[in-house]
Amino acid sequence: DAKTTQPNSMESNEEEPVHLPCNHSTISGTDYIHWYRQLPSQGPEYVIHGLTSNVNNRMASLAIAEDRKSSTLILHRATLRDAAVYYCILRDLYNNNDMRFGAGTRLTVKP
């Protein structure tokens, strides 16, 4: 299975942009890049996903490298509520019965 590598932790100041990196050098052509986050004492929640093109939604933006071997989740203005563990996950289009979470990146947002 293709794996992802993320920094263990990152810090940000409130109302500043945050760029959360993810490396996935063994990604296959049918792997979608998904991001979930887990707020304290809650289950994970979906953030965004993409295949090749950059994606935007109300929560975040996903920038995907041209060779697809890395991606970056962008929170445009971090709030205290964005403090969470962020998981970058690869899911094959045709064989995706489970999600393989790594340890993720713990984001701390300072006021």
Site residues, another protein (CB under 8 A): 30-32, 41-46, 49, 85, 87, 91-94, 96-104
Q: Which lies closer to another protein via its Cβ, residue 34 or residue 109?
A: 34
If we measure between CA atoms, which residue out of 26, 30, 27 comes closest to residue 95?
30
| In the complex, least distance from residue 48 CB atom to another protein, rounded to whole angstroms | 10
Q: Which lies closer to another protein via its Cβ, residue 16 or residue 46?
A: 46
If we measure between CA atoms, which residue out of 111, 104, 106 comes closest to residue 6?
104
Q: Return contacts of 41-45, CB within 8 angstroms, 24+ apart.
A: 44/87, 44/101
Q: Which residues pair with 46 in a beta bridge?
A: 36
| In the complex, least distance from residue 100 CB atom to another protein, rounded to whole angstroms | 7
Q: Which lies closer to another protein via its Cβ, residue 40 or residue 111?
A: 40
| In the complex, least distance from residue 66 CB atom to another protein, rounded to whole angstroms | 20
| In the complex, least distance from residue 29 CB atom to another protein, rounded to whole angstroms | 11
Which pair of structure tokens corresponds to residue 53?
């093109």
* Distances in whole angstroms, Cα of residue 98 to Cα of each of 21, 75, 82, 94: 22, 26, 25, 12
Q: Which lies closer to another protein via its Cβ, residue 68 or residue 91?
A: 91
